[in-house]
């Protein structure tokens, strides 16, 4: 396998490559480097794995730094413009969110599950976004909920689990009977039950590739911001799941052949005030021609007539000429800064909120409103919005740390470890964190 590192081409061969037979990728929603670097957080399992394995001080996410586009980048190694998942939801004609994006058919890029299947490997996934109807996952418990009653995920999960009956199987053998609130974000039992399901699949089916998404830490930070008891309890629950997966790998007899990777989709910013940028458009008689679509910490300008460049220029002008008290609340993202992040290709201008602020989709009322809790979605060039990375086990060095990496590096590393073909991935493979031999 040849990996291109800047202008140097190295032939990189894993030491004892046959030992890397399994990869487990755990994504903790809202995962931050502090959780494993600072002893004040209740993360004994992650702390041990970080110290004994590999960890990164920071992982740059994508733009917007939100869950579904980020998880699709983790599964493909490309940016939103390449994989087609631009936001968590579709964008309605009125500028409001219009349905979460569930179906795998929405993804335009090659995924790690497809690469694994074409290599003859077995695959599994638990609660990973945009995996409904994914034909490349052998054992799939997708993230989905009822359209009529979003709090209840059980029926929809059962309907879309693959193979048919898998959800009933894991309930019987791993979780026990699930009440509605034991399988949604109202309770920390959500992560615990997802962990039990994943651990059962590890022991029962021993997949070569398992992806697991744990959402509770995200919910806690949305409610409380970056700190507080809610966040500590949520990350402690996620840490417990990490320990459960580790133990399941050991019980299954595959621990020494497994690369265990823990990462996330974005960091968090504590907030106090929401901004309604569509009020600016309305006050300047532009509301019938364009709208800002909020992704939390950022908002993207959508022009109703795609050829209407004059409206874009008018919006730029009005943003630049706002009173200083308003203009200082955000920064404009356009040109090369927007282009390099390969976000929604239909957008030429976005705004990213300042510390403590975020955007909403309101078109009526005051410009500013109370907005406590936490948000993400911001342009990813500062520490608080970055996520983290821990890697332990087969294929990785011991007691190694790096200062910075990129989200798209993670699927490239997974493809390398399992010797899979993921040619479109834009990430880098770092020999310095892998047990590899190098020859020019």
Q: 12 pLDDT exceeds 60?
A: no
Average pLDDT over all residues of the chain: 94
Alpha-carbon distance 371 to 93, whole Å? 26
What's the distance, Cα to Cα, between the start and end of the chain in Å? 13
Query: Hey, what domains does the chain have and what are their CATH numbers?
Result: 2-268+386-439 (3.40.720.10), 272-375 (3.30.1360)
| CB-based contact 269:316 (threshold 8 Å) | no
CB atoms inside a 10 Å sphere around CB 433:
22
Q: What is the pLDDT of residues 181-207, one digit of tens each?
A: 999 999 999 999 999 999 999 999 999
Q: 391 pLDDT exceeds 80?
A: yes
Q: 156 pLDDT exceeds 60?
A: yes
Q: Which of 154, 122, 165, 161 is nearest to 24 (CA)?
A: 122
Ramachandran quadrant class, 399 (left: phi over 0; alpha: psi -120 to 50; beta: rest): left
Q: 214 pLDDT exceeds 70?
A: yes
State the Cα angle at 74 between 72 and 76, rounded to 5°. Answer: 65
Alpha-carbon distance 258 to 21, whole Å? 6
Helix (H, G, I), strand (E, B) or coil at 61: coil
More confident residue, 147 or 9: 147
More confident residue, 5 or 354: 354
| CB-based contact 216:18 (threshold 8 Å) | no
- Determine the average pLDDT of the residues in 229-249: 98
Q: What is the 3-state secondary structure (H, E, C) of 137-154?
A: CCEEECCCCCCCCCCCCH
The reported pLDDT for the residue numbered 3 is 40
Q: pTM (2 decimals)?
A: 0.95
| CB-based contact 253:384 (threshold 8 Å) | no
Alpha-carbon distance 342 to 195, whole Å? 33
Q: List phi, psi (to 5°) of 48.
A: -65, -45
Maximum pairwise Cα distance, the chain: 66
| CB-based contact 44:244 (threshold 8 Å) | no
Q: What is the pLDDT of residues 394-422, one digit of tens each?
A: 999 999 999 999 999 999 999 999 999 99
The reported pLDDT for the residue numbered 437 is 53
- β-bridge mates for residue 438, sequence order: 12
State the Cα angle at 180 between 179 and 182, rounded to 5°. Answer: 65
Ramachandran quadrant class, 123 (left: phi over 0; alpha: psi -120 to 50; beta: rest): beta
Q: What is the pLDDT of residues 302-332, one digit of tens each?
A: 999 989 999 999 999 999 999 999 999 999 9
Alpha-carbon distance 401 to 398, whole Å? 9
pLDDT tier for residue 94 given thresholds of 50, 70 and 90: confident
Alpha carbon 46 to its chain's center: 18
- β-bridge mates for residue 100, sequence order: 89
Alpha-carbon distance 216 to 235, whole Å? 8
Q: What is the pLDDT of residues 36-52, one digit of tens each?
A: 999 999 999 999 999 99
Of 6-15, 332-341, 350-359, give the lowest mean pLDDT range: 6-15
Whole-number CA gyration radius for the chain: 22
């Amino acid at each position: 396998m040849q990996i291109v590192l800047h202008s140097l081409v190295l032939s990189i061969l894993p030491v004892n490559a046959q030992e890397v037979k399994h990869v487990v990728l755990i994504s903790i929603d809202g995962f931050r480097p502090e959780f494993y670097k600072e002893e004040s957080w209740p993360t004994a399992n992650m702390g041990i794995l970080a110290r004994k394995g590999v960890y990164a001080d920071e992982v740059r996410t994508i733009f917007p730094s939100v869950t579904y586009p980020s998880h699709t980048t983790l599964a493909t190694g490309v940016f939103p413009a390449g994989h087609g998942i631009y936001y968590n939801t579709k964008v309605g004609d009125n500028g409001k969110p219009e349905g979460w994006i569930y179906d795998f058919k929405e993804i335009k890029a090659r995924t790690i599950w497809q690469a694994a299947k074409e290599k003859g490997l077995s695959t599994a996934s638990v609660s990973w976004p945009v995996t409904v109807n994914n034909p490349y996952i052998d054992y799939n418990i997708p993230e989905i909920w009822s359209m009529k009653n979003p709090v209840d995920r059980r029926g929809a999960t059962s309907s879309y689990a693959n193979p048919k009956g898998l959800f009933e199987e894991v309930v019987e053998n791993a979780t026990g009977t699930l009440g509605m609130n034991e399988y949604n974000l109202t309770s920390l039992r959500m992560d615990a039950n997802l962990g039990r399901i994943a651990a059962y699949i590890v022991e029962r089916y021993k997949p070569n590739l398992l992806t697991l998404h744990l959402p509770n830490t995200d919910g806690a930070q949305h409610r409380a911001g970056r700190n507080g008891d809610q966040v500590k309890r949520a990350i402690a629950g996620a840490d417990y799941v990490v320990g459960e997966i580790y133990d399941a790998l050991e019980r299954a007899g595959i621990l020494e052949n497994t690369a265990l990777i823990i990462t996330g989709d974005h960091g968090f910013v504590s907030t106090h005030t929401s901004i309604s940028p569509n009020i600016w458009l309305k006050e300047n008689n532009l509301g019938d021609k364009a709208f800002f679509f909020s992704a939390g910490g950022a908002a993207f300008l959508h022009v109703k007539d795609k050829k209407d460049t004059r409206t874009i220029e008018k919006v730029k002008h009005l943003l630049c000429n706002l009173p200083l008290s308003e203009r200082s609340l955000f920064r404009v993202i356009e040109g090369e800064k927007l282009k390099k992040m390969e976000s929604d290709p239909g957008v030429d201008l976005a705004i990213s909120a300042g510390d403590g602020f975020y955007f909403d989709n309101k078109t009526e009322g005051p410009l500013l409103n109370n907005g406590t809790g936490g948000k993400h979605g911001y342009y990813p060039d500062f520490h608080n919005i970055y996520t983290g990375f821990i890697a332990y086990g087969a294929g990785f060095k011991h007691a190694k740390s790096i200062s910075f990496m990129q989200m798209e590096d993670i699927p490239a590393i997974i493809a390398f470890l399992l010797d899979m073909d993921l040619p479109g991935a834009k990430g880098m493979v770092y020999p310095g964190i892998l047990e590899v031999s190098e020859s020019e």
